[in-house]
Amino acid sequence: MFMRLVMSSTVLGAVLLLAGASATIAQEKVLNLYSSRHYQTDEALYGNFTKLTGIKINRIEAGEDPLIERIKNEGMASPADVLITVDAGRLWRAEQSGLFMAVESKVLEARLPPNMRVPNKQWFGFSARARVIVYNKDTVKPADVRNYEDLGAPKLKGKVCTRSGSHVYNLSLMSALIEHWGEQKAEQWARGVVANLARDPKGGDTDQIRAVAAGECQVALSNSYYYVRLMKSDKPDDRKAIAKVGLIWPNQKSFGTHMNISGAGVVKSAPHKETAIRFLEYLASDEAQSYFAEGNNEWPVVKNAALRNPALASLGKFKMDTLNVGALGRNQPLAQKIFDRVGFK
């Protein structure tokens, strides 16, 4: 009887072990992705992951702040495995809310450059977009807008337009400038930009490019992929606008052009942690890097990744700022305080 009982327990243990293995296998077939990337071209990016791995992606899409609040409210019961969003500042906010876990991955360490990995390994940059200067070719000499510093110089009085100073794109740029210049010089620059504004800040980056083309202002800041999007457009008005403006890679003789990112991290309460890490490793693959470049005109961050986007490639090579993306988030509270002090609304 004792032997039968032992054998029964052994059989039961084997059944439980198989059940556990089956559950693990089932987990590996699902990834719950919370995304604020709203680009239709990402369908191919995610579809390729499923094709390669057999893992289905369940996607929840919303703005970055609502997604961060949702994960916080869901707590340890959150189904979220990965949060993917644009701008280092937003990823830093998620980190500060305690949403991410540290990820140990030899693949990510080997594939991603050091500046695309925050020191605590909680989030990573997988694609890059440059913060460039756009100018009216009829009214502005390129030599007058070679650097970010020029935007705050008296020579551009009444010629600059920009989106809101509270927008995360401008906050991330200011965060980088604080890191490079220090608080005092960065504030002087911001004060000069406000003094040079042609109008109150409004609209998005595409609106700034159109305003420069229309002569409403002469110089503006824009993320590079908005510029390339207009380059590739079939709409006559877009083609006319892009023909009237030029693009400058700022600060080529100093620290290089400010680069922001689209990035992701694994949620601390992720129910499918191994799958989540596998997804991040996929985002660093050659295939995924090509999708970022082709789909949304973003630069691959992996060294020697193929750039299969003729419009993006036509802009030529330039010196990129290699500041660690963690600084772009860490300095944001100070960046906002400076903008508030100088009246950059």
Largest CA distance in the chain: 98
* pLDDT reported for residue 28: 58
Give the DSSP per-residue string, 5-62. Answer: HHHHHHHHHHHHHHHHHHHHHHHHTEEEEEE----TTHHHHHHHHHHHH-PEEEEEE-
Over the stretch 315-342, which tens digit does the pLDDT of each residue have? 999 999 999 999 999 999 999 999 999 9
Q: Which domains does the chain show, CATH number per domain?
A: 2-126+261-306 (3.40.190.10), 129-258+325-342 (3.40.190.10)
- Give CA–CA dist 49/279, Å, rounded: 8
Could you tell me which of 302, 303, 270 has the C-alpha nearest to residue 283?
302
pTM recorded for the entire structure: 0.87
Over the stretch 130-185, which tens digit does the pLDDT of each residue have? 999 999 999 999 999 999 999 999 999 999 999 999 999 999 999 999 999 999 99
Q: Is the pLDDT of residue 1 over 90?
A: no
- Give CA–CA dist 123/101, Å, rounded: 8
Spatial contact of 330 and 315, defined as CB atoms under 8 Å apart: no
Burial 47-64 (b: 16+ CB within 10 A, else e): ebbeeebebebeebeeeb
Over the stretch 227-282, which tens digit does the pLDDT of each residue have? 999 999 999 999 999 999 999 999 999 999 999 999 999 999 999 999 999 999 99
